[in-house]
Chains A and B, each alone.
Chain A
Amino acid sequence: MAMTVDPERSEVRALRKVGGWRGVRVLEIGCGDGRLTLRLARMGARVEAIDPDASLVRAARRALPLQHADRVRYRVAGAHRLPSGDGSFDRVVFSWSL
């Protein structure tokens, strides 16, 4: 068992203060194993989540609950050449990755 990050969910409370997330198109950069991705999806966001580490992206895909599968897409990519068109997202989140 690894360490648990933010079991108190302070992160979710802080992100909710930014605004509503339901239906918001989000690009998450540096998703890692998808910890924050799932929190964004549970708040209703539609998330494209990228990370340059293919093994982490595989782990994130394996851990994606079925009920969020239509709102989350994981891709292997880095921040310096994003695989998305201009103006595609309402929000971009650097997830401990800038």
Chain B
Amino acid sequence: MVHALTEARRVLRPDGLLLDVRPAAVHRRVHLVHGAETRLLGVMRERFLDERASDRAVAAVLRSGLFTRVSRSAYPCNRVARRFVDFRAWLEGFAALQDLPSHAWLLRRVERALEGVSGPARIVVSAPVDLWVLRNGLR
């Protein structure tokens, strides 16, 4: 990751900006939205190994003076499914990619919740996204 940041610095103009946009190390919350009602169905169990490694890489390039910190902020990011099958495909793919423990409990909970509502509903996965802004160091 430090190598990727160093390579990014090479292609940046001397005072150019590097933006690192990625999900924060905060457990995703899964809601069911039906009409005006929003119901929390569960909180995911991520490990955040990649997120912490990325944070360490950013800290390393700041310490080394390759970049200077401009800002760090976060914004909310929702991922919305209108069908259970789409949510299931995303969750199963994400869990496999991240080597997470089984989230079958969450799938069952969402499926049951959908069975209990009539009319269209949305499954919303919420988590903040971190936005780091770094400036290419001038030295």
Contacts and interface: CB of A to CB of B under 8 A. Distances in A.
Given A96-B21, A97-B22, A98-B22, A84 B11 contact: yes
Interface string A1-22: 1111111101101110111000
A70 interface: no
B78 A6 contact: yes
Interface residues of A, number: 38
* Size bracket of the B interface: 35 or more
A14 B22 CA distance: 13
Contacts, number: 119
Contact of B10 (A13, A86, A96): A86
Contacts of A81: 7
Nearest to B58: A98
Contact of A98 (B54, B75, B80, B81): B54
18 contacts: A2-B89, A5-B79, A6-B79, A8-B76, A10-B129, A11-B21, A14-B73, A18-B131, A27-B8, A29-B4, A36-B21, A87-B13, A90-B12, A93-B18, A94-B19, A96-B22, A98-B4, A98-B54
Interface of A: 1-8, 10-11, 13-15, 17-19, 27, 29, 36, 79-82, 84-98
